Each structure stands twice: as C-alpha cells, then as structure tokens.
Structure 1
Amino acid sequence: MKETTSTGKNVEDAVNQALRELETEKENVEIEILDEGKKGIFGLLGAKPAVVHVRLKETPVEQVLSYLRNIIEKMGVSPGLQFEEHDRTLHINVTGENLPLLIGKRGQTLNALQFLTQLAANRYYPHYERVMLNIGDYRKRREEALTRLAERLSAQVLRTGRPVKLEPMPSYERKIIHSALAHHKQVITYSEGNEPKRYVVIDLAKR
C-alpha cells in the first residue's frame, strides 16, 4: 500500500491513523487534507470527522524511473525497467519491444536518454548518483565492437606510423578504447577536443 484515505476526530488523529496503516513515519509521506472536520456542540452533536489522504513519497530511484518511463512512453514504447544500485551508480536496463527506436544510430538516442536521466538523478538524489542506462544487451555489444575497433586501428597505426583519430564518443566509450589498448606497448591513446565532440587518438608510443 502506497496511499490511503483515513478519518479521525481531528486532522492529527486521521493522519496518525493513516501512518499506522502505511507503517511509516510522517516525514515519509505527503498529506492532503480533504476535510478538517468539525467538533460539534459539546464535542458530539453535529460532529464531523476529519478526512485526510496520505501518500508515501517516492524514493529518488522511483522518481528517476518514473521520469524515464514517461519519456519512453511518449516515444511510443511501453518499457520494462530493471535497475540495481551500487557504489552510487544507478544501473537501469530497458526491456520490451521496438528497442532499436530507443537506441538510435550508434547509440545516439540511448546516449541522449541517459543524459536526460542523469539530469533527473541530479535533481532527485540528495547526493551525486551516476546513471548507466542500457537497452537490451546494446552496451555489451557496443563494448565488444569498440574493443575490436581499437585493436584494428592500433594495427593500422603500427603499419602506417601515423596517428588515427576516432569519431567523437561519450566518456564511457572513450574509456573502453583506452582500456582495450592500455597494455599495448607500441601504441598510446589520449583524448582531444571538448565535450560533446571529444575523441580518442591512437598514436605510436614514444621510444
């Protein structure tokens, strides 16, 4: 139960009744007074009970998920949202039909959704909470594709002796490229440019 309507001899009594039903404390709820009630003559004649509607406040994660669900539904998709939280990171996975619509070309729509969801988290959480949004198994497939790309381009750099600039990527995708070649002794990677057009450069390691 997340909300209830309760009555009592006065507003305080009605609220306390609602808190008992919801098994929570006053700071965790939103209270709407529907009727303040009436004491009546001598406390009895013409008395009218107070009526309140009490609703549990949404947690930050519930607010973020509601925000994301609303956006996706406006795109014509009915999403299933799975989440887990650890190390101040909210991992959200979207399931359902028509998922390619939510991914977009090279994940551009997905990245935009993640950006908007991060803004929502910044608003609703009392502390900084990082958001990682995934749709189906796209992130895993993208990581595998970027790792293969890093290996192929590093071979090209070794063959030609010239650096290679990759297309602009969000920070977590750049990290995949850096990690894929971190232990490569013959090439180095570094980032250049400004967000959102920051990109990775693969170059020969200095000898």
Structure 2
Amino acid sequence: MKKIVASGKTIEDAVRNGLTELQVSAERVNVTVLEKPSRGLFGLIGTRSAKVELVLLSQTEVAAEPAPVISAAAAPTADKPAAVAKDAILETERFIIEVARTMGLDITIARNDSKEGLTLALSGGGDLGMLIGRRGQTLDALQYLVNIVANRYSNSHLRIVLDAEDFRDRRRKTLEDLSDRLAGHVIRTRKEVVLEPMAPHERKIIHSQLQNHARVKTFSKGDEPNRRVVITLK
C-alpha cells in the first residue's frame, strides 16, 4: 500500500499536488486531512500550509470505493459579494489593531468613503506618529500590507486608504504649498527643479497642483522607488 503526504495553500491544492506526484486520478486514492491551513500572525506572517495523506488504492479497492466527494466543510463556499467585502474590512481592521498593539498603541478606526476608496482613519491614545513615520513612510508601508490583507478576503478588488490624525490632508496641503513655492523659484531663476523621490500618490499631488499653471510644467523621471518630479519652464 503506497501512501504519501502532500501540502498546499489549501486542502484542494494539497490533494492536487499529491495526485500529481502519484500520477493518478482522485478515485484512485483515499485522502486524510492531517493539517488545515492557517493564516498565522496578522494573517500574513507564519502561515501554515494544508497537509494531507493520500493512500493509493488497489484496482479491487477502487471498484468497491464510491467516488470521492468533497464535503461542504472542506471546500470553500461562495459568499455573496457584500458579505465578502464586509468580512474583508473586518479582517483588515483586526490586522491594523493587532499591529498597533504590538507597538503599544490602543487605537480606534473610523470608516469613510472617498473617491480614492475606503479610508480607514486611525485615532486613539499614545504616539500615533509611530504609525505615520517620517513623511508618512511607515503609514504607506502599513497601507500596502492592509490592501494585501483586504484583498485576500475579497473576491472583488478593494482599494483602502489608511490615515492617522488627518496626516493625508496635512501632507497634501504641504505638497501643494511646496509646489507653488518651487514653481515661483523656477520662474525667478529660469532653472528647473528636481524634487526628491516620492511615492506615486505624492507625485500625483504635485502634478495636479501645477497642471494648469501658466508658466511651468511638470514631468516625472527615473525608476521606482527613486522616481522624481521635475518642475521646469514651459
């Protein structure tokens, strides 16, 4: 009697990998689930794969065995899109709260819909500057992870913007003011200005602020993550 242990991201993946290794069809094996998959810390770190044992049946056993059926408990179910989206947001908020707790922060989360997507605004006691970081770099990194978590639980694409202490609005105003000052500098000196590397959404603010300017224009150059905005005369 030949048997193997196979693993995969899901139970179905593990079974499929085992069948490929044995080079047989599903009716030729008995399957025992040894370990179910788990999400691990924060739903991202330390995830555990599914593990199954496949026992190869003899031709006599195959004839006597009924065709294998994947039970509803083992197979993923199709939820309604609204329910999936709601679950995705709840899991995302749980992830954020867990991250904040590891940093010694007790936060609350408010949801706001905007043209950019769903905004999750963080507030609470402690130094939320730890979650924001220098020029929002920590907040941007966390936002990247947040979108990964959200879309792991959703069957339609979700776009989530993460904010803390109105940082996004304050940063936007800072960049708009900077754009106007640098445009004036370019006009006075008649020399182009190359800004420091910025994230795509921050470069977009600069471009939008100066797109209708009468005397200067903007463009980006370089490759990510060192892509920069250039302000020059028209």
| TM-score class normalised by the smaller sequence | 0.5 to 0.7
Q: 1:149 aligns with which of 155, 158, 178?
A: 178
Shift of 1:202: 0.7
- Identity across matched positions, percent: 39
Which residue, out of 164, 187, 191, partners 1:135? 164
Residue of structure 2 in register with 1:108 after alignment? 137
Aligned length: 153
SS in 2 for 1:59: helix
Partner Cα distance (2:123, 2:179) in 1 = 29
Q: State the partner residue of 2:94.
A: 66
**Could you give the per-residue CA deviations for residues 99-131 of structure 1, whole angstroms, max 9, x where no partner exists?**
111111111111111111122122222111111
Displacement of 1:147:
0.6
Counterpart of 1:164 in structure 2 is: 193
Q: Return the match for 2:104 from 73, 76, 81.
A: 76
Query: Normalising by the residue count of structure 2, what TM-score does the alignment of the two structures yield?
Result: 0.60
8 Å Cα contact 1:88-1:129 kept in structure 2: no
1:60-90 Cα distance to aligned partner (Å, 9 max, x none): 1101111111111111111111113466822
Query: Do 1:88 and 1:128's aligned partners in 2 also have CA atoms closer than 8 Å?
Result: no
For the aligned residues, what is the CA RMSD?
2.1
Contact 2:116 2:161 in 1 (8 A): no
- One-letter amino acid matched to 2:190: G
- TM-score (norm. length: structure 1): 0.68
Unaligned runs of at least 5 residues, structure 2:
1-76
Structure 1 runs of 4+ with >6 Å offset: none
Task: Give the secondary-structure state (helix, strand or coil) at the position aligned to 2:229.
Answer: strand
The aligned counterpart of 2:229 is 200
Q: Secondary structure at the match of 1:122?
A: helix
What secondary structure does 1:82 align onto? strand
Residues 16-67 of structure 1 deviation map (CA, whole Å, 9 limit, x = unaligned): xxxxxxxxxx976xxxxxxxxxxxxxxxxxxxxxxxxxxx987111011111
